[in-house]
Chains A and B, each alone.
Chain A
Amino acid sequence: MRAMARGMGTLVLALLVAADALAADPILSPGFRFSEQTGEALYTNVCQACHMANGEGATGAGRYPSLVKNPKLETGDYATYVVLHGQKAMPAVGRLMTDEQVATVVTYIRTHFGNDYKDPVRAEDVKKAR
């Protein structure tokens, strides 16, 4: 894409493409634990691995559940528990996150993909559930 923008030689387009690439650029954490801080960054670099870009999940021999309008997200406790402790095919990714990160990403999921649960999960809730 960058080569194409250069070829067309318009600065504006190049900037737009660069900005687009930046927003979509994946993050690779410098250590063993996740370094992403925002809900969006945590979702797109961690959860998206299985639950996919729009929370739609996926199906093969088994499946990754869709998060879209998912009634199981009504309470923050359930999602928090699953992120922290894993469940069946789901690894305990929360072990590689701080309480704040878990709270942030669970809150993100509960307010995106057609979910609209307004009560945020807080770091202290996560701490208790560890």
Chain B
Amino acid sequence: MPTDEPTATSRRDLLKLIGLTAGSAALYQAMTSLGYAAESGYKGPIKLEGDPKGASVLILGAGLAGMVAALELRHAGYKVKMLEFNNRAGGRNWSLRGGDSYTELGGATQKCEFDAGLYLNPGPWRIPYHHNGLLDYCKRLGVKLEPFQQLNHNAYLHSSKAFDGRPRRIREIKTDFQGHVSELLAKVTQKGQLDELVSREDREVLLQALRWWGVLDKDYAYKAGPLTAEFRGYARDPGGGLGGGLGAEPVPGEVIGLGDILQSRLWRGLSSFAAYEFQTTMFQPVGGMGRIGDAFAREVGDLITYNAKVTRIAQNEKSVTVAYEDTAHPGTTHEASADWCVCTIPLSILSQIEIQVGEPMLDAIAAVPYASSVKIGLQFKRRFWEEDEQIFGGISYTNLPIRQISYPSTDYNTTGKGVLLGCYTWNGANSFEFTAMTPQQRIEHALDQGMQIHPQYRREFETGISVAWHRSPFTLGCAGDWTDEARKQHYDSLCQIDGRIVLAGEHASYIPAWQEGAILSSLDAIGRLHKRVLQG
């Protein structure tokens, strides 16, 4: 492995840099264990102490941010009213079930024909274990959770350009990739090529670790055999008795060559499970994500005026006045007033509404484009992914435009039907292209592509539904798509209280597109608002 001097130097610099990063991570870890740096910034139920003396608050939007604000402010003694554009509460916290119908912008109406108990979560669908605020509200409101499988070693990594388009099991790619890389690193270590970077004592331990981590043999080689099969799986699993005449003895499969794995790019999929946001344990509400919105609505539903399309938000020294149209009776305008206003309307919409706030907040409201995202739910006659392929929950990743197929993390090993998430795009050309299609076209394409991974698709398919978020009438996009630059310039102005108005929602958080962002933003906004109110 010849290296010229400049490369060697820069490699050392890189390792120094990693050392520094590791140092600060270690510091952070120490701080966390001492309780100085809490995960997600949630510090337990909010305490709004002090008498607001009958002050009133108008909350715009009955998604999670709005309903958290309503619940807590009412509890603290405020008079609360809410306006909601949709005819239901929850906003993007939403599950589409059989019997529901959804009309997207452009007028296409889809009737959801899923069987009872089956659903698609068009918006959020999984909850990281460190989203403490959301988890706490689920606990307080009695929303039952179950594990969401993010990583299933038996799901697939697939590329139409690799392995003749045949999917590979995640366990194979993960074990083989790790094994080959370990073997390479062990060779380099043994040749003394890491001597400058790793101390003599550490070299011995490193070699041991590589054997363990990479499942190498005593010669530090990664090879097909009983040892590696214990990790990557078998060509024939161990059986019992005489194995029905075929033999019960396990048969290890061939390992996939390093070059094949590298060129396949399937290793990319592995990072989807490694990120902090996707590490186990993840959760989902039993019965669909919408159960959280339902639970909030049980608490604050009496405060909500539905079908209210906000058209103007005005304020003076004494109050806030909001004009809205009753969309059930088009053309009829109403007004609602309160002392204060918590506005959770997505910026994609708020930027089009006349709102009486200062220039900095106006600029901030206009500075955040919304991400494109498309989800497609497909109902199949039987759970073939479980019955034929032993895939119980989890996600297969592909280079095809559908990007992923997620298997239901519930009702495992039953004989009934099931709904797959058959497409989930996030920005990029394909997300816009799927959005531009008719709902029928989206499903056709999702089926064509899914067939390349699961040939059972066409035979077993029954009905599907899609939500393309840029066609969503109540959001005009999926979630705030901040750039670092825009954040630097506008984030603080967006979150400041302007007169009697404060904004909240995932867009006013550092966790955009996650429900936790909406909740933390809302709690922070009402905490500051409450202080302001008490100041008189």
Report which A residues bind B (CB closer than 8 A). Answer: 26-29, 31-35, 44-50, 52-53, 58-64, 86-93, 96
**Beyond A29-B430, A49-B432, A58-B105, 14 extra complex contacts between A and B, CB < 8 Å:** A26-B441, A28-B401, A28-B445, A34-B432, A46-B432, A48-B436, A61-B310, A61-B474, A62-B348, A63-B352, A88-B366, A89-B369, A89-B370, A96-B429
Complex CA gap A53/B401 in Å reads 22
- Which among B124-132, B191-199, B212-220, B464-472 touches the partner chain? B464-472
Chain A residues with CB under 8 Å of B471's CB are: 49-50, 58
Name B430's contact: one of A28, A44, A59, A60 (CB within 8 Å).
A28
Minimum CB–CB distance from A10 to chain B (whole Å) comes to 24
Chain B residues with CB under 8 Å of A45's CB are: 432-433, 436
Minimum CB–CB distance from B423 to chain A (whole Å) comes to 11
Chain A residues with CB under 8 Å of B432's CB are: 34, 45-46, 49, 93
- B345 in the interface, Cβ–Cβ < 8 Å? yes
Name B445's contact: one of A26, A33, A62 (CB within 8 Å).
A26
Chain B residues with CB under 8 Å of A91's CB are: 369-372, 477, 481
Complex CA gap A50/B348 in Å reads 13
Task: Pick 24 A–B contacts, CB within 8 A, sort by A.
Answer: A26-B437, A26-B445, A28-B429, A28-B434, A29-B430, A49-B372, A49-B436, A50-B105, A50-B470, A58-B105, A60-B349, A60-B472, A60-B476, A61-B85, A61-B476, A64-B105, A64-B476, A88-B347, A88-B369, A89-B369, A91-B370, A91-B372, A92-B369, A93-B432
Report which B residues bind A (CB closer than 8 A). Answer: 85, 105-106, 309-310, 345-349, 351-353, 366, 369-372, 401, 428-430, 432-437, 441, 445, 468, 470-477, 481
Q: Which residue of A lies closest to B472 (CB)?
A: A60
Q: Which residue of A lies closest to B425 (CB)?
A: A28
Complex CA gap A96/B474 in Å reads 26
Complex CA gap A89/B369 in Å reads 6
Chain A residues with CB under 8 Å of B105's CB are: 50, 52, 58-60, 64
Chain A residues with CB under 8 Å of B434's CB are: 28
Tell whether, in the assembled complex, residue B476 and residue A35 are in contact, meaning their CB atoms are under 8 Å apart.
Answer: no
Complex CA gap A48/B352 in Å reads 20
Minimum CB–CB distance from A87 to chain B (whole Å) comes to 8
Complex CA gap A45/B369 in Å reads 19
Q: Which residue of A lies closest to B105 (CB)?
A: A58
Tell whether, in the assembled complex, residue B435 and residue A49 are in contact, meaning their CB atoms are under 8 Å apart.
Answer: yes
Name A27's contact: one of B85, B345, B433, B476 (CB within 8 Å).
B433
Minimum CB–CB distance from B207 to chain A (whole Å) comes to 40
Tell whether, in the assembled complex, residue A62 and residue B352 are in contact, meaning their CB atoms are under 8 Å apart.
Answer: yes
Chain A residues with CB under 8 Å of B346's CB are: 61
Tell whether, in the assembled complex, residue B433 and residue A89 are in contact, meaning their CB atoms are under 8 Å apart.
Answer: no
Name B353's contact: one of A60, A62, A96 (CB within 8 Å).
A62
Complex CA gap A62/B310 in Å reads 9
Q: Which of A26, A27, A47, A86 has its CB near the most chain B CB atoms (within 10 A)? A: A26
